[in-house]
Amino acid sequence: MPDPSSIEAKVAERALEYLLAPPSGDDAVINLSSPDELVAAFDGNAGLGFDAVASGETDEHVLAAVDQVLHSSVRTVHPRFMNQNFAGPDPVSVVGDWLGAALNTTAATFEAAPVFTLMESALLSKLARVAGYLPAAASPLPALPPGLFAPGGSSATLYALQLARHRRNPEVVRTGIGTERLVLFVSDAGHYAATKSAAMLGLGTDAVIKVASDFEGAIMPEALADAVVAAKGRGETPFAVIGTAGTTVTSAFDDLNAVADVCVEHDLWFHVDGCYGGSALFSPKHRHLLDGVERSDSFVWNLHKMMGMTQQCSALLVRDPSQLAPCFAGHADYLFQPDKLNADYDSGDRTFQCARRVDALKLWLSWKVRGDEGFAARVEHAYDMAAYTRSRITESGGAFAVVVPGSFTNVVFAWVPPDLRPLELANGTAAQLDQETMDRLHALPPTIKAQMQAEGTGMIGYQPIHGLNTFRMLFMNPAVSTDDVDAILAAIERYGAATLSH
Ligand SMILES: *Cc1c(COP(=O)(O)O)cnc(C)c1O
């Protein structure tokens, strides 16, 4: 038995307690401190910084510091944390992550990670079958898996675009880019991972052509077709299109079949960014939102968002896994000796990374515990909470107005001061407001949010959309109840009224 009085056991005990008896209801989501206050809070214990000579601290000091970490960190497990596209980690995934860390290895070789190599293959095969990339009867353990796990959706996007360019010109891997002006397309509501990747690939951010989206945030397919033709007319070489399955702000889904048609017509690589909305595929009720994904060449799916895996857990699925090695291989002869046992199972030469975390383990564990039905329930709960929020806004007597009602898990809305009610803000009507009203509404979310943080009542994101700062309610955490939605809306009203009375 491990010594329960050891520092490791005590820290682990605190983590487990946080995880299994999580804060909820009126518990604080955050104990807000300024950077200076935070530093000062560690003064009496182990201290936050390191002196030029840093001696080991006593267990007592270290534990006091750990308690401070717990006190001052954001409780993302709290059902009133609705700030971002992750929340409420599945506790099974958290302990899976710990187990993976304890077994500390790299997923690069079968030699060092025999079980994890097979687990990754099993998961990629299952995900590919769920997405329709592979037939339902395909091998549950393919020797060459249909993709790999990547350290986050942005990295996976970079890998996908590298593959896309590789198909256009396999020589670039060796010779570097030439003078051909390669361009790609994504909607103007798509994720910034596209422009960052273009910068890193040496294409430049100007190589990303932003295509108009509708008021919900879904790409306009005719605008895409026109943009491709226009780029060709300018002498540029289109090579890829990114279709977004679930935009970050409004959870809008591009019509993937329409995007696929454009890609077929112009022989372009079709990448699907399903970082956020890919998990709709788990739900028989909602998987139709991704119809057409099976026609794509690559697909990125963040399991650390809606599915509650710890960050990160991102799957990159590819139609043709045989191209991963020519695109990424470094042929390190000290790792990938062709004459060792089971060398053909090594994934290390199919990715950019050298050491790679075993992100597959936590997903494998969670999926084995929850089953397909548990995964579907998580997505459907998120959808149901968003639908409840939409109905609460409709029945709010004008106190709230939707800006983008959304058709999935996100609702984008504004709080409306009493003297402006009723106010129509949906479908771009906000753009017709007079400047003074616009300025008033625009200034409210930051002030309301700051009060909410100061009291620790909740955390909710806001962002400008159609030129107006708006709140975004989104649902990731299965512990969120209608009471939590009501509490957040009531808090917004309370802080909004307080702002006006100042
Ligand atoms: C979150 C997100 C990404 C980026 O994923 P990371 O894992 O945060 O790098 C890409 N696209 C969309 C639509 C996202 O919501």
pTM comes to 0.97
The tens place of each residue's pLDDT in the chain, 502 residues long, gives 789 999 999 999 999 999 999 999 999 999 999 999 999 999 999 999 999 999 999 999 999 999 999 999 999 999 999 999 999 999 999 999 999 999 999 999 999 999 999 999 999 999 999 999 999 999 999 989 999 999 999 999 999 999 999 999 999 999 999 899 999 999 999 999 999 999 999 999 999 999 999 999 999 999 999 999 999 999 999 999 999 999 999 999 999 999 999 999 999 999 999 999 999 999 999 999 999 999 999 999 999 999 999 999 999 999 999 999 999 988 778 777 888 888 889 888 899 999 999 999 999 999 999 999 999 999 999 999 999 999 999 999 999 999 999 999 999 999 999 999 999 999 888 888 999 999 999 999 999 999 999 999 999 999 999 889 999 999 999 999 999 999 999 999 999 999 998 7
- What's the confidence (pLDDT) of residue 430? 86
Q: What is the atom index within ligand 1 of the atom nearest the CA of 277?
A: 13
Ligand 1 centroid to residue 250 C-alpha, Å: 13
C-alpha of residue 184 to centroid of ligand 1, in Å: 18
Cβ-contact 306, 89 below 8 angstroms: no
**H or E element, residue 470:** strand 468-474
Instruction: Please give the domain boundaries of the chain with CATH numbers for all domains.
Output: 1-30+74-89+371-502 (3.90.1150.170), 106-357 (3.40.640.10)
Q: Which residues line ligand 1 (CB under 6 A)?
A: 85, 152-154, 191, 193, 244, 247-248, 273, 275-276, 302, 312, 314
Which is nearest to 155 in space by CA: 330, 253, 270, 300?
A: 300
Nearest CA among 1, 67, 8, 72 for reference residue 35 = 72
pLDDT at 103: 98
Distance (Å, rounded) from C-alpha 338 to C-alpha 324? 17
Q: Which atom of ligand 1 is nearest to the CA of 304?
A: 7
Atom number, ligand 1, closest to the C-alpha of residue 157 = 10
Instruction: Decide the pairing of beta strands 147-150 and 468-474.
Output: unpaired
d(CA 275, ligand 1 centre) in Å: 5
**What is the C-alpha end-to-end distance of the chain, expressed in Å?**
60
Distance 381 CA to ligand 1 centre (A): 21
Residue 332 has what pLDDT?
78
Ligand 1: nearest atom to the Cα of 155:
9
Environment class of residue 320 by beta-carbon count within 10 Å: exposed (0-12), middle (13-18) or buried (19+)?
A: exposed
Task: Tell me, in angstroms, the distance from the centre of ligand 1 to residue 123's CA.
Answer: 20
Q: Phi/psi at 407 (nearest 5 deg)?
A: -120, 10
Residue 311 CA: nearest ligand 1 atom is 7
For ligand 1, atom 8: residue with the closest CA: 153
CA of 490 to the centre of ligand 1 (A): 30
Site to substitute for ligand 1 among 84, 86, 154, 161, most atoms within 8 A of C-beta: 154
159, 196, 275, 304: residue to mutate for ligand 1 pocket, most atoms within 8 A of CB: 275
Q: Of the residues 273, 306, 314, which should be mutated to test ligand 1's pocket, given the most ligand atoms within 8 Å of the CB? A: 273
Residue 156 Cα to ligand 1 middle (Å): 9
Paired tokens of 427: 């479908």
Asked whether the beta carbons of 392 and 489 are under 8 A apart, the reply is yes
Secondary structure (DSSP) of 207-218 = GEEEEPB-TTS-
